[in-house]
Amino acid sequence: MADYNYVAPQEHATKGGVLAYLLTTAAVLLLMMLFGLVMRAEQAQLISIGANAFYQLMTLHGAGMVGIAGIAGAAIMWHFLGQYVRLSTTVLYANLALFLVGVAMAIGAVFIGNFHGAWTFLFPLPGNSMGLWSNEAAATFLAGMLVLGTGFLLFQLDIARALIATYGGLGRALGWPQLFGHDDGKAPPPTVVASAMVTVVNIVALVVGASILAMMLVNLYYPEFAIDPLLAKGMIYFFGHVFINATIYMAVIAVYEILPRYTHRPWKANKIFLLSWNCSTLMVMFIFPHHLLMDFAFPKWMLVMGHVIGYLNTFPILIVTGYGALILVYRSGIVWDMASRLLAVSMLGWAAGAMPAFIDGTIRVNYIMHNTLWVPGHFHTYLLLGMVAMVFGFMYYVTKPAAQHKDALIDRLAYWAYVVGSFGFALAFLYAGKESVARRYAEHLPAWVPYDRIGTAFATLVVGAALVFVGRFIARLAHARSAHLRAPAPLGVAA
């Protein structure tokens, strides 16, 4: 029988794996942020690396950031889900090993093979480089993505196995008996519900992603094995969109688990909570056509579906989580430290980042805005200030030396630098998008450069803050008596 207590009776037995995930996250995140800064400085004409190098960095930045968001989210989900179900440590490490192999292949394909066809590897671009890269470079990149995806698929299958073993089915883990029948107050905890949702959508996405990657690999060497480009685009966008969305649904588990410990108030999965997560399980899989609204060749019904579901899916989980967090924190006497601050601001970042997507999901607006920097403005807001803020909050939480420990001045300064920097950086993208500055251009017109320079200044602030967060994470780990993660004991409440 599962333990429905919201405070873990004991910490999960295997903590080294989560630590390895977090250290990998810290290293890859910083490197990819530096690549992002270099790209922004190139657009701002502060440096000159040339278009070729820009697209190499853009390819790695996109693939690396999406992949590392997956790894960081997986670490959070595995860490907390392990309180309720038995997970395999071998699979945890296998996923990390495959991730590192996939990343090494992608880096090799880009820096040695000069592949720079973007992380979206849109068919038929990888096989039509016009002499800029070889078939082998393209194949190495695609195979790298396949290896990486296989690791995540194994990871999700293990979670599915564990959820089914403990709860008797994914429907039960999603709280169906309480949602469709009498709510006996014994619905699975939010962590289990979120993990079940992520597992369902990610397994479908990863299988679709692996299928199109395998098809494209065959097509590279046997072009007579023809692929319908429209089908390929649909499959790639389905995979990419669901996977990146799932990263925030994994990371939000940190909010569900940590805020109750700080406020000494449980976060229960009631009917509304279950309804919103179940609705989003379906909607997340049908929302991706809002990226295809300009593709006249797609069937009209798909585009209408993208528009309608894009509107609907903006709200359920976000509102339930944001409102739930506010209720939890209100008059709780919560101690505001780095972990709780970062988790609280992540709610704001997530909500703020969803709004530009909501606007862009309107077909009339989309025709004008979609290929502009408005879109990077949207996803950098919810990823940097939402998803990544949750990850940094988790890093501070697991390394907090004692409940009474006070944050250093440098932590607080870094926090404000991160918040101001992320907002400024994302707003510079959004404003440029409003001014119709095209997306994915290495070279910008003189009229666009002022926005780029402002964006670069804020990006520097973000990178500086992230350096402090990572430095403090490593220093706190090194100073911890044991290399293992500590038990998440309830933290003190202010007098």
The length of the chain, given as a count of residues: 495
Cis peptide before 266 (omega within 30 of 0): no
| CB closer to ligand HEM out of 424 and 492 | 424
Q: Which stretch binds ligand HEM (CB under 6 A): 142-150, 213-221, 230-238, 455-463?
A: 455-463
What is the closest distance, in whole angstroms, from the C-beta atom of residue 100 to ligand HEM in the complex? 18
Binding of ligand HEM at residue 462 (CB under 6 A)? yes
Within 8 A by CB and 6+ apart from 230, the residues are 295, 297, 298
Q: Which stretch binds ligand HEM (CB under 6 A): 62-70, 96-104, 399-407, 483-491?
A: 62-70
What is the closest distance, in whole angstroms, from the C-beta atom of residue 43 to ligand HEM in the complex? 6
Q: Which stretch binds ligand HEM (CB under 6 A): 63-71, 182-190, 285-293, 312-320?
A: 63-71
What is the closest distance, in whole angstroms, from the C-beta atom of residue 440 to ligand HEM in the complex? 4
Show the site string, 356-395: x = touches ligand HEM by CB under 6 A, - = not: --------------------x---x--xx---x-------
Binding of ligand HEM at residue 440 (CB under 6 A)? yes
Q: From CA 443, how far away is CA 437, in angstroms rounded?
A: 11
Residue showing tokens 């107050």: 185
What is the closest distance, in whole angstroms, from the C-beta atom of residue 9 to ligand HEM in the complex? 33
Q: Taking the alpha carbons of 9, 14, 16, 19 in that order, is the dihedral positive or negative?
A: negative
Q: Are 176 and 260 in contact (CB under 8 A)?
A: no
What is the closest distance, in whole angstroms, from the C-beta atom of residue 385 to ligand HEM in the complex? 9
Binding of ligand HEM at residue 65 (CB under 6 A)? yes
Q: Which stretch binds ligand HEM (CB under 6 A): 87-95, 117-125, 174-182, 215-223?
A: 117-125
* CA distances from residue 183 to 67, 172, 193, 196, 217 in whole angstroms, order as listed: 38, 13, 15, 19, 49
Binding of ligand HEM at residue 66 (CB under 6 A)? yes
Quick one: angle between helices 253-263 and 50-81, nearest 10?
50
What is the closest distance, in whole angstroms, from the C-beta atom of residue 428 to ligand HEM in the complex? 10
Q: Taking the alpha carbons of 285, 290, 291, 293 in that order, is the dihedral positive or negative?
A: positive
- Please select the residue that binds ligand HEM; options are 8, 18, 22, 33, rule is CB under 6 A: 33
CA angle 405, 409, 413 (to 5 degrees): 125
Amino acid of residue 216: M
Binding of ligand HEM at residue 291 (CB under 6 A)? no
Q: Which stretch binds ligand HEM (CB under 6 A): 56-64, 251-259, 270-278, 483-491?
A: 56-64
Binding of ligand HEM at residue 459 (CB under 6 A)? yes
- Give, as ranges, the residues between 471 and 490 that touch ligand HEM (CB under 6 A): none
Please tell me the number of Cα atoms within 13 Å of 120 on its side-chain side. 15
Q: Which stretch binds ligand HEM (CB under 6 A): 57-65, 141-149, 173-181, 350-358?
A: 57-65
Binding of ligand HEM at residue 414 (CB under 6 A)? no
Site size toward ligand HEM (CB under 6 A) is 24
- Please select the residue that binds ligand HEM; options are 62, 175, 190, 209, rule is CB under 6 A: 62
What is the closest distance, in whole angstroms, from the C-beta atom of residue 315 to ligand HEM in the complex? 22
Q: Which stretch binds ligand HEM (CB under 6 A): 113-121, 194-202, 251-259, 470-478?
A: 113-121
Q: Which stretch binds ligand HEM (CB under 6 A): 14-22, 31-39, 140-148, 355-363?
A: 31-39
Binding of ligand HEM at residue 433 (CB under 6 A)? no
Binding of ligand HEM at residue 118 (CB under 6 A)? yes
Q: Which stretch binds ligand HEM (CB under 6 A): 60-68, 223-231, 394-402, 473-481?
A: 60-68
Binding of ligand HEM at residue 61 (CB under 6 A)? yes
Binding of ligand HEM at residue 151 (CB under 6 A)? no
- Please select the residue that binds ligand HEM; options are 342, 463, 470, 485, rule is CB under 6 A: 463
Q: Are 438 and 372 in contact (CB under 8 A)?
A: yes
- Please select the residue that binds ligand HEM; options are 21, 78, 99, 119, rule is CB under 6 A: 119
Give the interface with ligand HEM as residue ranges (CB under 6 A). 33, 36-37, 39-40, 58, 61-62, 65-66, 69, 118-120, 376, 380, 383-384, 388, 439-440, 459, 462-463
